[in-house]
Chains A and B, each alone.
Chain A
Amino acid sequence: MASVSCKDLCKTFSQGDTTITGLDKVSLEIERGSFLCLSGPSGSGKTTLLNAIGGLDQPDSGSISIGELRVDQMSKTELAEMRLHSIGFVFQAYNLIPVLSALENVEFVMQVQGVPAGQRRDKAMAILAEVGLAGMEQRLPAQLSGGQQQRVAVARAIVSEPALVLADEPTANLDSKTSAQLMDLFIELNQTRNITFIIATHDTRVMAYCRRLIRMVDGQIVGDDLQEPAAAAEPS
């Protein structure tokens, strides 16, 4: 799976009397293992597209498939199942459950997935170590820096070994150094685990990491370029 295919996606929102175009006949093919950026000014439709791919929002028309699965035809429950098991999400800051420690945040998702209690802890510890948070497992989100919180979110996103990770402005609240570290982590996971990353951002430093950069304006794709990632994936 995890080759993402969108065809003729349309979506409009109404805000008061005016209708806003979210997506306007967007078609897109994403191969497995891609590292892709959706860029554009706010209101350009990048988040809408990301949400549509993740099954958080239904398009008005058009089709989306992830692998063999038709996302646009799934029921709410099936979508939730898919998000839980097959897609990892990383949002802007404050996307952890504040009352749970780093370890428990990761464990919670696994508990919902039905992973047996014995496996949960070991796996969560291992993943947290992998994202560089060894020794901080018991801290509550409020006791972690913004970058560390996003690492926990990443750990939570990849713990179920999804083939696809969707990230919506993951660096929005991070300074440039922490952003760079987070992007390095993404690149590393992309290469070692062959996870497809789709990142919606308007941060040019983030765009520099991608191999494929899609630019959107007013709900339409206006640019689709392959580029050589500026920053290497070497561990810094």
Chain B
Amino acid sequence: MNVTLTMAWRNLWRNGRRTWLTIAAMIFTNVLLVFLISLQLGMYDTMIENSLRAFSGQMQVQREGYLDEPRMRETIAGSSAITAMLREQLGIESITQRAQGFALASSQERSFGIQLIGVEPAYEPLVSSLPGLLGEGRWLSDSNAEEIVLGRVLARNLQVQLGDEITLLGSGADGSFAAGLATVVGILDTGLPDADRSIAQLPLGTFQSIFSMPDQAHALVFEFPDLNQVPARKSQVETLLSKKQLLAQFQLAVHDWDALQPGLRQAIMSDMVSAWFMYGILIIVVSLSVMNTQLMSVLERTREFGIMLALGIKPGRLGRLVLLETLIMSLLGMFIGIFIGYLLVAWFAHTGFTFAGMAEAAAKYNMDEYMYPQASLLSLFWGPGTVFIGGMLAAIYPALKLQRMHPIEAMRAV
């Protein structure tokens, strides 16, 4: 074995307790970072997935400008043909048309102004998670059925039950008076207070006839098997639509989930930033611990270094020795930390992780009460890698101290 490496290794264990304490600090930090980062990344994925499944979908085609100001009249004409074409060309079924409009919903007892959503009964369940959250009754049967499903709280506020009729009044896409009738067939328990208070969905055909917008929709909503497909699919859809002259003719625009729910990425980014503030502090504190250990280990070996310098060994080589020692220590801290962290993540990925008060937070952010950390190369190495770099940087100071060491004075040191 290389003598320098041997020397570095043995030097570390000259004061085993100190070395282990320093490595333990790194291990503790690394385990914590691996776990928290895996938890965060796992949470983000679920958060994105759930949010998109419940509301916007991963991607939408809309009229230009509809995203900023959703006006009734900004419709996609001939939407069923476009949707059929897209389903065929993309080779997926999970594309659905939606329309959205405001109406006064009146039961026998009460009236409320609500946001009505027209959906395709056959395709909506492929895209959205809401149809699966029926607490009572059934899902919409046919595109032209005069049926409606309501959120739990909305149904209570309207004082309606399954089978009751609701009158809908509003103004149509063309500005005309819009009126319709629908029977409550299902009540949704989404667990999301906002959704339960406001959700009202009826078949697209019925919606179109009430609001005088035949074969028109406000959005085509896409769901792909994997979120990572979105960028490629977006340009594919844009190409398809422009080839068929639809993009320009109908002034259509394709929006990915980032544009549809800008708060999502921002929330993730800001959560990441504030979390990394804390991680950064931990890493600095650990690095200072490494610096202290290596400084001590250099100072107590002053005599020894003095002799080596006198023998003609250059200070640079001694500096590298100290860095090599730190490298071994940091590598040990990193791999043991990653290993234990991985076990912890694997365990909680299996059982799920939760804490007091999580259920309410989960409801607000549309998440599962249990969080499942997700081990990935990124989540395993991101934190520990930074700790590793921090530790190596911290060793520079003690290594530099060696460069200014004078052999004679060093040899005289006790």
Q: List A residues at the B interface (Cβ < 8 Å).
A: 51, 54, 56-57, 77, 79-85, 87, 89, 91, 94-95, 97-100, 104, 107-109, 111-112, 156
Chain A contacts of B308 at CB under 8 A? 97
Cα distance A95–B4 in the bound complex, in angstroms: 17
Is B278 in the interface zone, CB < 8 Å from A?
no
Give the dominant DSSP class at A's interface.
Answer: helix
A84 x B407 contact (CB < 8 A):
no
Closest-by-CB residue of A relative to B305 is: A97
Contact residues of B between 279 and 330, Cβ < 8 Å to A = 303-304, 307-314, 317
- Which A residues lie within 8 Å of B407 (CB)? 56
- Please, how many angstroms separate the alpha-carbon atoms of A89 and B303 in the complex? 15
Residue B81 at the chain A interface, CB threshold 8 Å? no
Residues of A within 8 A of B243 (CB): none
**Are the CB atoms of B310 and A56 closer together than 8 Å?**
yes
Inter-chain CA distance A95–B407, complex, in Å, is: 12
> Chain B, 188-206, contact with A by CB distance < 8 Å: what is the 0/1 string?
0000000000000000000
Nearest residue (CB) in B for A106 is: B3
Q: Which residues of chain A come closer than 8 Å to B312, judged between CB atoms? A: 79-85, 87, 112
- CB neighbours of B11 from chain A (8 A): 99
Known: A51-B408, A99-B10, A99-B14. A111 touches B3 (CB 8 A): yes
Contacts of A108 in B (CB 8 A): 3-4, 7
**How many whole Å from A56's CB to the nearest CB in chain B?**
5
- The answer to whether A57 touches B408 (Cβ under 8 A) is yes
Chain A nearest Cβ from B89, distance in angstroms: 66
Q: Is B411 an interface residue (CB 8 A)?
A: yes
Contact across chains for B7 and A100 when beta carbons are under 8 A apart = yes
> Is B6 part of the contact surface with A, judged by Cβ < 8 Å?
yes
Closest-CB distance, B206 to chain A (whole angstroms): 84
Least CB distance, A98 to chain B, in whole angstroms: 7
Closest to B4 in A: A111
Number of A-B contacts (CB under 8 A): 60
Name the 4 nearest CB pairs between A and B, nearest first. A84-B312, A83-B312, A99-B10, A108-B3
CA of A109 to CA of B307, assembled, Å: 12
Contact, CB under 8 Å: B311 / A109: yes
5 A/B residue pairs, CB under 8 Å, sorted by A: A80-B309, A82-B312, A84-B311, A99-B7, A100-B10
B314–A100 CB distance below 8 A: no
Question: Are B303 and A54 in contact, CB atoms less than 8 angstroms apart?
Answer: no
Q: Given contact pairs A80-B313, A82-B312, A99-B14, enumerate 17 new A-B contacts (beta carbons under 8 Å).
A: A54-B310, A56-B310, A56-B407, A56-B408, A83-B312, A85-B312, A89-B310, A89-B311, A97-B7, A97-B304, A98-B304, A99-B10, A100-B6, A104-B3, A107-B3, A109-B311, A112-B313
CB-based nearest A residue for B6: A104
In whole angstroms, what is the CA distance A91 to B408 when docked? Answer: 11
Chain A residues positioned under 8 Å from B7 (CB to CB): 97, 99-100, 104, 108
Find the A residue at minimum CB distance from B407: A56
Residues of A within 8 A of B309 (CB): 80
Q: Establish whether residues A84 and B313, one from each chain, have CB atoms under 8 Å apart when the complex forms.
A: yes
Q: Mark B1-36, 1 if CB is under 8 A from A, else 0.
A: 011101100110010000000000000000000000
- Contact digits for B148-171, partner A, Cβ 8 Å, 1 yes 0 no: 000000000000000000000000
Most buried by B among A56, A99, A100: A99
Complex Cα–Cα for A81 and B309 (A): 11
What CA separation (Å) do A85 and B312 show in the bound complex?
Answer: 8
| Distance, CA A51 to CA B307, complexed state (A) | 12
| Residues of chain B with a CB closer than 8 A to A99's CB | 6-7, 10-11, 14
Chain A residues lying within 8 Å of B304, measured Cβ to Cβ, are 97-98
Q: Which residues of A contact B310 (CB under 8 A)?
A: 54, 56, 83, 89, 91
B307 touches A91 (CB 8 A): yes
Q: Shortest beta-carbon distance, A58 to chain B, in Å?
A: 11
Q: How far is the CA of A87 from the CA of B6 in the complex (A)?
A: 26
Q: How far is the CA of A91 from the CA of B317 in the complex (A)?
A: 21
**What is the CB-to-nearest-CB distance from B407 to chain A, in angstroms, rounded to a whole number?**
5
Which B-chain residue is minimally distant from A101 (CB atoms)? B6
CB distance from A76 to the nearest CB of B (A): 9
User: Which residues from A are CB-within-8-Å of B6?
Assistant: 99-100, 104
Cα distance A55–B77 when bound, in Å?
92
User: Of residues B7, B11, B310, B311, which shows the largest number of chain A Cβ atoms within 10 Å of its Cβ?
Assistant: B311
Interface centre among A94, A97, A109 (most CB of B within 10 A): A97
* Of A56, A98, A107, A112, the contact of B317 (CB 8 Å cutoff): A112
Q: How far, in angstroms, from A112 to B309 measured CA to CA in the complex?
A: 12
**0/1 string, B375-414, CB within 8 A of A gives 1:** 0000000000000000000000000000000011001000
Q: Distance in Å from the Cβ of B224 to the closest Cβ of chain A?
A: 58
Q: When the two chains form their complex, are residues B303 and A94 in contact, meaning their CB atoms are under 8 A apart?
A: yes
Q: Are A91 and B411 in contact (CB under 8 A)?
A: yes
Q: Separation in Å of the B12 CB from the closest CB of chain A?
A: 9
Cβ contacts under 8 Å, B14 to chain A: 98-99
Instruction: List residues of chain A with CB within 8 A of the CB of B307.
Output: 91, 95, 97
How many angstroms between the C-alpha atoms of A57 and B308 in the bound complex? Answer: 15
A100 to chain B, nearest CB (A): 6
B121, chain A: closest CB distance, angstroms? 77
Which residues of the other chain, B, contact A89 by a CB distance below 8 angstroms?
Answer: 310-311
- Closest Cβ–Cβ distance, residue B32 to chain A (whole Å): 33
Complex CA distance for A51 and B406, rounded to whole angstroms:
12
A residues near B313, Cβ cutoff 8 Å: 80, 84, 109, 112
- Cα–Cα distance between A91 and B411 once the two chains are bound (Å): 10
**Inter-chain contact B311/A83, CB cutoff 8 Å:** yes
Chain A residues closer than 8 Å to B10, beta-carbon distance: 99-100
Q: Which residues of B contact A97 (CB under 8 A)?
A: 7, 304, 307-308
CB distance from B412 to the nearest CB of A (A): 10
- Once the chains bind, are A80 and B314 in contact (CB under 8 Å)? yes
A14–chain B nearest beta-carbon distance, Å: 14
